Structure 1
Amino acid sequence: MGEKSKTSFNPQAEETRLKTLVSDILAEAKKQGADACEVGASLDEGLSASVRMGEVETVEFNLDQGFGITVYQGIRKGSASTSDSSKGAIVDTVKAACNIARYASEDPCAGLADADQMATELPELDLYHPWGIEPNDAVALASDCERAGRDASDKIINSDGASVSSHQGCRVYGNSHGFIGSSVSTRHSLSVVLIGQQHEEMQRDYWYTVARNASDMEPAVEVGRKAAQRTVNRLGGQQVETGRVPVLFAAEVASGLVSHLLGAISGSSLYRQSSFLLDHLGQQIFPDWLRIHEQPQLKQALGSASFDNDGLATRAKDFVSAGVLQRYILSTYSARKLGMESTANAGGVNNLFVSDNGGDQSALLKQMGTGLFVTELMGQGVNIVTGDYSRGAGGFWVENGVITHPVSEVTIAGNLKDMYRNIVAVGNDVDHRGNILTGSILVEEMALAGS
């Protein structure tokens, strides 16, 4: 999959061009009387192709450019954006931001991070691996993936299509402290959604692969076969009786449990007092064996970054250690609002890992014994203010550690505080396709609403 690039995108040239434009914008802001300014610039180029039932549905090219400009007049802030890099457009956009700042309310927490906090060393993270796949080849790859899925079982009777995408881009951030940081990166993916039928019942499921380097993606045939297997496995779904049961979240949905934690310990939720984990710093919220830590500067990883959206150097850190909440997720602004120090997480976390203690998925099924194995979640029934959790779920019923039949049309409910404290095990079957890296998560007990 990893053929050499045939694209016209020149990362070094675009990086230099965007850095120059950011410098020009910062100079223009100073010229127009701004006390301080920060600029985020981006350029993205990509190809995507999709097929359905062997026929080409779409082939799309995109080229997007944008500049977000924020100026400060004392402790008043104004922001404006443009996709036009011409001199006139830049002047007008800076003028618009300055006008907004002039009339904005004063905010004592507004402003750039301190100059001495700016990142001084930006390591090379090896995030740029162009694929250079041609449209015809992208269509052929998507077709191979879909065909493999359709051929895998006679129960696969339809498809919602297969898609291939290849994107590359450049990001630059600069501010009037003199900091200008940049990165170029790529992201490639292949996915397919299949439809299966058994008697009158129909089910849909999918699979996908994603990587910085196309050679690290799963083979197209394997993606198709996995999607088919997942779809066929869902056929014959039954309801189960209402009760309280252990619940095992498969790795691909377990990351959602962790993302609710991130929302609850993010600075914006905390200073708005809209989190169920208010004032929980230093308190035990997970079992004492569990650790959640960030490694933002891993080479080729999907979530890697050498600096955050404020220009601070990212760094490895624990958010949870021995089950205890060690720190919040803070940008410069949210840290000021809370009277704390930034954790260099403006823009979020990067490569968050959850420690494991429970072996692979089959080991966790045996450990659970009898309960619900969740592979799909539906709905938005999560309240970050109270921690209340209630979502539609699909998956499999497990007896004595063995999957017995698919389960559909059930709801699982609990409170995130209780769910976190009652995590029995985390598997080593880590899903590496995102920014939150966790294995399957076994929760001791949840309410199950079924038949």
Structure 2
Amino acid sequence: MEPLESQLKLLQDKVALVLEQARKLGASAAEAGAHLDAGLAVSARLGEAESIEHHRDQGLTVTVYFGQRKGSASTTELGDAALKETVEAACAIARFAHEDPYAGLPDPARLAVQIPDLDLYHPWAIGPDQALELALECEAAALGAHPEIVNSEGASLTSHNSIRVLGNSEGFLHGYPASRHSLSCAVVGKRGGQMQRDYWYTIARSPQDLESPASVGRKTAERTVARLGARSLSPRQCPVIYAAEAATSLIGHFLAAIRGSNLYRRSSFLLDSLGKSVFPKFVRIHEEPHLKRGIGSAPYDSEGVATYPHDLVRDGIVRSYILSSYSARKLGLETTGNAGGVHNVIVDPGTLQRDSLLREMGSGLLVTELMGHGVNLVTGDYSRGAAGFWVENGEIQFPVEEITIASNLKQMFRDLVAIGLDVDRRGNIQTGSIWLANMTVAGNSS
């Protein structure tokens, strides 16, 4: 493997070459991004290796502008001839494209200049044999944790490194490496005639920040055994607490509703919500793109616009949309540095752990898993399959499955009672458990 610096310079040279070729072909502006990815993925099941995969891929995408006409093309070949053909293809597309008054590069004043080191690159010198050992250790811990664990869907370990380089004709040219490693496990439990499955995983930029294989295995087993004896519920209205790992989806629906592309298409239930109250006053949701080793951390977005910490919601009021340069122009606003998505969205926690939230709730539903895609982003109507636990007198009584929970997202956001301290920090959205005052629950029990 070539040294990191050599790989980074190679990609920068390719991007610079493409931008120069676009200029020579008459493009008034251009941007290009190149990547090089490499990794290892192994899986094991029932004490034996199941798969070992090495992967390595590369690519480059170029976008050119002839005034307000835009064309894009991509290639996985980085030789000079292939790059030249790619630029020519993008130019040909642009010449025949319709003019779009909102098309173009980002404002040069918004491009990242001082680029922070976010500590995102921690390569793992791990080979297939050691990776399989860790996966097998994880699975063994799950299988040995409880006598009701009777089968396994396997354990998997992945280690991934990437280099991304971005450049444009405004003089921006930068790249950086990043790494991501994960370990996961899923097992099956049996009690009487009923079987249940569940899983757990750990993910981090650095292998030192991963949970231990034994811990992941035990957590997988605990979650699976807890689901044994699940039953449905009779139809009812009741409070619902989304466990942290399920609550991230609620925040994801909110983010989708304030994303620029959905707003300018008029396909969101939160149109014209900027400056308006959507959540209770205690809710704060903010983006922190510069967290060291953060899963979603990035010094700039996919256009090269500098990212920055900012509030999406403060005091329950929407303070910012999620905008790229294009969507911002369509809406008559400024980019928020979110071309390509968000970077570490954090929901400020309250003061209570999940068990305390359950005691405060008294009776209601704890949701730990969601199924299906019954969310209408235009109206906010929400209906999804769910599994979890029924709670009475603040204590879990029995596991629940084969139910549907329904409401409207606008109402759900207004009905938010509390946010737990049990923040799930594994992903790009970080939140604790979320307690909602009331939802409709439907099941098949009489």
Task: Report the TM-score, using the length of structure 2 for normalisation.
Answer: 0.99
The 5 A counterparts of 1:249-328 are: 249-328=242-321
The 5 A counterparts of 1:147-226 are: 147-226=140-219
- Partner of 2:427 in structure 1? 434
Q: Secondary structure at the match of 2:289?
A: coil
- Partner of 2:343 in structure 1? 350
Structure 1: give runs of 5+ residues left out of the alignment.
1-7
Displacement of 1:284 after TM fit?
Answer: 0.4
Aligned partners of 1:210, 1:117: CA distance in 2, in Å?
32
Q: Secondary structure at the match of 1:44?
A: strand
Aligned partners of 1:233, 1:328: CA distance in 2, in Å?
40
Q: Secondary structure at the match of 1:256?
A: helix
Displacement of 1:10 after TM fit?
Answer: 2.7
- Partner of 1:125 in structure 2? 118
Task: Give the conservation status (yes or no) of the 8 Å contact 1:358–1:364.
Answer: no
Q: Secondary structure at the match of 2:423?
A: coil
Aligned partners of 2:111, 2:216: CA distance in 1, in Å?
43
Displacement of 1:9 after TM fit?
Answer: 5.5
Post-superposition Cα deviations, 1:7-33, rounded to whole Å, max 9, x if no partner, equal x35322211111111101101111111
- Partner of 2:323 in structure 1? 330
Read off the aligned partner of 2:220 and give its amino acid letter: A
Displacement of 1:176 after TM fit?
Answer: 0.4
Aligned partners of 1:377, 1:174: CA distance in 2, in Å?
40
Displacement of 1:168 after TM fit?
Answer: 0.5
Query: Is 1:27 matched with 2:20?
Result: yes
- Partner of 1:339 in structure 2? 332
Aligned partners of 1:421, 1:356: CA distance in 2, in Å?
17
Q: Secondary structure at the match of 1:263?
A: helix
- Partner of 1:424 in structure 2? 417
Aligned partners of 2:310, 2:89: CA distance in 1, in Å?
39
Q: Secondary structure at the match of 1:93?
A: helix
Read off the aligned partner of 1:355 and give its amino acid letter: D
Aligned partners of 1:182, 1:299: CA distance in 2, in Å?
17
Aligned partners of 1:14, 1:417: CA distance in 2, in Å?
48
Task: Report the TM-score, using the length of structure 1 for normalisation.
Answer: 0.97
Equivalent position to 1:359, from 346, 352, 360: 352
**Cα gap change, 1:9 to 1:212, in 2 (>3 Å):** farther
Equivalent position to 1:42, from 35, 41, 48: 35
Aligned partners of 1:448, 1:183: CA distance in 2, in Å?
47
Aligned partners of 1:445, 1:163: CA distance in 2, in Å?
38
Task: Give the conservation status (yes or no) of the 8 Å contact 1:76–1:104.
Answer: yes
Q: Secondary structure at the match of 1:78?
A: strand
Aligned partners of 1:358, 1:419: CA distance in 2, in Å?
21
Aligned partners of 1:92, 1:267: CA distance in 2, in Å?
33
Task: Give the conservation status (yes or no) of the 8 Å contact 1:244–1:448.
Answer: yes
Q: Secondary structure at the match of 2:118?
A: coil
- Partner of 1:134 in structure 2? 127
Aligned partners of 1:438, 1:345: CA distance in 2, in Å?
20
- Partner of 1:373 in structure 2? 366
Post-superposition Cα deviations, 1:250-281, rounded to whole Å, max 9, x if no partner, equal 00010000000110000000000000000111
Query: Is 1:447 matched with 2:440?
Result: yes
Q: Secondary structure at the match of 2:238?
A: strand
Post-superposition Cα deviations, 1:25-80, rounded to whole Å, max 9, x if no partner, equal 10111111111110111111000100011111100000010111111111000011
Aligned partners of 1:120, 1:412: CA distance in 2, in Å?
47
Post-superposition Cα deviations, 1:87-106, rounded to whole Å, max 9, x if no partner, equal 11001000110111011111
Post-superposition Cα deviations, 1:221-276, rounded to whole Å, max 9, x if no partner, equal 01001001100110100111211000000000100000001100000000000000
Task: Give the conservation status (yes or no) of the 8 Å contact 1:181–1:307.
Answer: no
Read off the aligned partner of 1:228 and give its amino acid letter: A
- Partner of 2:85 in structure 1? 92
Read off the aligned partner of 1:230 and give its amino acid letter: R
Aligned partners of 2:425, 2:350: CA distance in 1, in Å?
18
Aligned partners of 1:334, 1:144: CA distance in 2, in Å?
48
Displacement of 1:421 after TM fit?
Answer: 0.6
